[in-house]
């Protein structure tokens, strides 16, 4: 019997192939669709815990969306072991 073990230096190589990435805080959940960014999702979890109302396109939520997207980018860089300047 031959068993091969494959490892990758990147701790989360599966992150590279997902069609979306998401981040969640106590107040919000943000989903970024890589190939379809116009379909990004943002939910206010305090008022909409069942995630029925996507507020990503709401101009009043632009600041929250921007902060969540920046946090998501930071987490992806961290998970891949990359450094930012």
- Specify the pLDDT at position 48: 96
**What gap in Å lies between CA 72 and CA 15, rounded to an integer?**
12
Class level of CATH domain 13-79: alpha beta
Q: pTM of this prediction?
A: 0.73
- Specify the pLDDT at position 28: 97
Contact 67, 57 (CB under 8 A): no
**What gap in Å lies between CA 75 and CA 77, rounded to an integer?**
5
Q: Where are the domains of the chain?
A: 13-79
- Specify the pLDDT at position 17: 62
* pLDDT tens profile 13-67: 555 566 888 999 999 999 999 888 889 999 999 999 999 999 999 999 999 999 9
pLDDT exceeds cutoff 50 at 3: no
């Amino acid at each position: 019997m031959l068993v091969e073990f494959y490892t990758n230096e990147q701790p989360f190589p599966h992150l590279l192939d997902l069609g979306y990435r998401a981040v969640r805080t106590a107040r919000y959940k943000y989903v970024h669709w890589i190939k379809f960014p116009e379909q990004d999702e943002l939910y206010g979890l305090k008022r909409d815990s069942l995630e029925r109302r996507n507020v990503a396109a709401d101009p009043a939520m632009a600041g929250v969306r921007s902060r969540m997207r920046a946090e998501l980018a930071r987490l992806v860089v961290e998970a891949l072991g990359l450094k930012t300047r």
